[in-house]
């Protein structure tokens, strides 16, 4: 995430006030009284200073509050909160929300992904850095003018990253969650992308069948029994439907792979994120659907994906 310190500024108070004896300028040649030693410019400098930050809202104080609440990157988060807040009152509320356990991205209203600010809100899946592998693999396959589908798009992070990197692609993003669709439309606003609401391929225009060059999908792939082991921020705040992938985590992967051949163009590709443990099974699923599979991974991102290609 972008990290920058920020404060608040307030315009000087230039509203007219009744003159007081001390505010009347001395006559020409008259000595300045002892209690009038400050210059006009000094007075105006004092007036133009921003209001002092309340003691409990300085960066060190915020970091200490967050650290006590268990935030590992307290200093970085303090700067982000200061940057996002429009006033001390708003900052105070944001600090309390974060200290109470609300995800930082929900508190400041965005998450960083592939160098972009992706707007998110309560209940919407927060993009993970590991999904940047999916973007990188897709970019290597794309060219301007390509038709791309982003299934299970969430807030539209993957699609936004692809549009930013490959100008001129025809992007269609889809998700079943209306909240996610709303954020995807916001994050893709200004591009030529189309955002659809519905269940996987059912959300897409029928005219895309057989025309899609690349399908990218970051489906829910956490096995149901493992949901309770997820970090608190994901478990309690994100929609369960964005996390739960069924008994082995691959329920949606199977559905996506099964229908992909009827939507992909010749030589088209399907890219799906999964866990390292799930990759061998996902490879078998892709092969069983007529796709030539290839696993991909990135140790630094702790990311795994499976790619499947249609015959050329």
Exactly one of 187, 218, 220, 293 is catalytic; name it. Answer: 218
Residue 302: count other Cβ atoms within 10 Å of its Cβ: 13
Residue 287: count other Cβ atoms within 10 Å of its Cβ: 13
Closest CA to 200 of 252, 160, 239: 252
Burial 103-128 (b: 16+ CB within 10 A, else e): bbbbbbebbbbbeeebbbbebbbbbb
Exactly one of 103, 113, 187, 219 is catalytic; name it. Answer: 219
> Is residue 286 among the annotated active site residues?
no
In degrees and rounded to multiples of 5, residue 7 shows phi and psi of -130, -160
Q: How far apart are CA 147 and CA 266, in angstroms?
A: 12
> Is residue 218 among the annotated active site residues?
yes
Q: How far apart are CA 35 and CA 253, in angstroms?
A: 79
Exactly one of 113, 125, 183, 286 is catalytic; name it. Answer: 125
> Is residue 125 among the annotated active site residues?
yes
Please answer whether residues 149 and 212 qualify as being in contact, where contact means their C-beta atoms are separated by less than 8 angstroms: yes
Residue positions annotated with a catalytic role: 125, 218-219
């Amino acid at each position: 995430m972008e990290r920058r310190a920020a404060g608040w500024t307030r315009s000087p108070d230039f509203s007219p006030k009744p003159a007081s004896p001390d505010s009347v300028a001395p006559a020409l040649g008259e000595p300045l009284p002892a209690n009038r030693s400050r210059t006009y410019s000094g007075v105006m400098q004092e007036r133009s200073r921003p209001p002092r930050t309340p003691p409990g809202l300085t960066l060190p104080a915020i970091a200490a509050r967050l650290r006590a609440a268990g935030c590992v990157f307290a200093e970085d988060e303090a700067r982000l909160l200061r940057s996002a807040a429009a006033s001390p009152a708003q900052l105070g509320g944001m600090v309390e929300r974060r200290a109470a356990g609300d995800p930082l991205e929900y508190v400041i209203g965005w998450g960083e992904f592939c160098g972009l600010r992706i707007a998110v809100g309560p209940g919407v899946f927060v993009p993970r850095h590991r999904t940047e592998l999916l973007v990188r693999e897709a970019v290597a396959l794309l060219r301007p003018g390509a038709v791309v589908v982003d299934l299970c798009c969430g807030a539209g992070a993957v699609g936004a990253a692809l549009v930013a990197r490959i100008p001129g692609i025809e992007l269609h993003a889809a998700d079943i969650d209306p909240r996610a669709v709303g954020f995807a439309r916001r994050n893709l606003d200004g591009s030529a992308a189309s955002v659809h609401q519905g269940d996987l391929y059912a959300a897409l225009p029928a005219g895309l069948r057989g025309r899609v060059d690349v399908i990218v999908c970051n489906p829910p792939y956490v096995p149901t029994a493992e949901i309770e082991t997820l970090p608190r921020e994901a478990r309690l705040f994100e929609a369960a439907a964005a996390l739960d992938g069924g008994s082995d985590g691959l329920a949606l992967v199977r559905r996506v792979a099964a229908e992909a051949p009827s939507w992909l163009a010749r030589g088209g590709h399907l890219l799906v994120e999964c866990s390292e443990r799930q990759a061998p099974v996902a490879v078998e699923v892709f092969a069983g659907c007529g796709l030539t599979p290839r696993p991909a991974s990135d140790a630094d991102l702790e990311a795994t994906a499976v790619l499947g290609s249609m015959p050329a």
